[in-house]
Amino acid sequence: MDNHSNALTATQWSVMECLWISGSLTGRQATEQLQEKMGWNRSTTLTQLRRMEEKGFVKSCDQEGVKTFFPALCREDAVLQETESFLERVYSGSVSMMLSAMTRKTTLTKEEIHELHALLDEMEGK
């Protein structure tokens, strides 16, 4: 999942959030959660899960006729991929340009500034 075409869509993020929180869901459980969260019916939910399985985002197993879905992608990897994609797409890969843009309109707390200093010190030591 190195390229942008394999990035999660907003809809897929919703599905993955349910799976990351639960660990795994049967088709019925996924349908119930996504009905409440997204207003989807059973067919929409199962179609989305099947497509996500084809893309490698989700895995499934069948036990005694009950299909259970679970994430094939951990949340941390998905967040990193999304962040890298955003950084490249919007800021041409420049972290400093992104931080500059983000801090122009938003005041950082002292704690956030200390965290950034610590991160920079750590990175400088590598």
pLDDT at 4: 43
**In sequence order, what DSSP letters do the residues of 83-118 get, joined into one string?**
HHHHHHHHHTT-HHHHHHHHHHHSPPPHHHHHHHHH
Handedness of CA 88, 94, 99, 102 (dihedral sign): negative
Neighbours of 86 (CB within 10 A): 12
pLDDT at 2: 42
The two three-digit tokens of residue 50, written as one number = 């099947």
pLDDT at 99: 87
Summarize the confidence of residues 4-22 as an average pLDDT. Answer: 88
pLDDT digits (tens, 9 = 90+) for 54-92: 999 999 999 889 999 999 999 999 999 999 999 999 999
Sequence spans of domains, the chain: 4-71, 94-126
Q: Which CATH architecture has domain 4-71?
A: Orthogonal Bundle (1.10)
